[in-house]
Amino acid sequence: MKRTLHIESNSCAAVDNLGRKTFRMELRGDAGLMHSGQFVDIAVPGLFLRRPISVCDSSEGSVLIYYKVVGEGTARLAQMLPGESLDVLVGLGHGFDPLRCSGKALLVGGGLGAAPMHLLCRELRSLGRAVTVVLGFNTASEAVLLDEFCAMGASLHVATMDGSLGVRGLVTDAIPAGEAYDCFYTCGPMVMMKAVCKALGDIPGQASLEERMGCGAGFCYGCSCHTASGTRRICKDGPVFDKEDIIW
């Protein structure tokens, strides 16, 4: 699962309300087909630990990721240029299960939680499912992937905290009322996902959790969490869990 991937493009795609940049990076090479909710673990030159980043799109020969520059690792990643190569562990984690949805799916992403929703939307659309996507951002300039979701035929709804795009307020304020969803999928800050699960009541759902990771592959036990079904490793047994298993 370790691959050398080449940077095809790496450019700023959005800026949040605090001036932090989101980068869009396209990697080429023998990446193998990954599933939504899975992640890659990138060895950033000069740093000890790898950086886990969820997959936004995947094909046999390429991977698309989005990352926000929030620390030293992502800052160094942002300075890398097309043509440079990266040591990447691919295909990590237990992702979303699009087959759980037999009818209409609701995808809810907060901030860069939109990225894994993109690949999930593609998977669901290829299964012929109707997909409603609700994305929440702090401000309009932080928004990513809007055109891509629309191009896949999803019904897109957006909320921003400052009202600069879509509904003013939280992502839960933008979820269309009166629709009957088979199941929902969510990725974003923990507090947001908790609110989403609460708002959607009895609808079955899956959520993607986050934690500081060591190995990223399930053998260092650095990112363990308690779940209703017992102790789980977020990197290996997750990051996606059924909502009933998550202890908020």
What's the DSSP call for residue 20? P
* Residue 67 CB partners (closer than 8 Å, separation 6+): 22, 23, 25, 51, 53, 74, 77, 78, 112
* Residue 189 interacting with another protein (CB under 8 A): no
Q: Which region among 117-125, 160-168, 194-202, 221-229 touches another protein (by CB under 8 A)? A: 221-229
Q: Contacting another protein (CB under 8 A), which of 13, 47, 161, 199?
A: 47
Provide the 3-class DSSP secondary structure of residue 34: coil
When the beta carbons of 221 and 248 are compared against another protein, the nearer one is 221
**List 6, 13, 20, 49, residue binding another protein (CB under 8 A):** 49
Number of C-beta neighbours around residue 181 at 10 A: 20
* Least distance (Å) between residue 15 CB and another protein: 19
The Cα–Cα gap between 152 and 48 comes to 38
Selected binder of another protein within 2, 127, 162, 191 (CB under 8 A): 2
Residue 1 binds another protein, judged by CB under 8 A: yes
CB of 248 to another protein, least distance (A): 15
Beta bridge partners of 233: 224
Instruction: Find out whether 121 and 154 touch, Cβ atoms under 8 Å.
Output: yes
**Which residues contribute to the site for another protein (CB under 8 A)?**
1-2, 43, 47-50, 87, 89, 211-215, 217-226, 231, 236
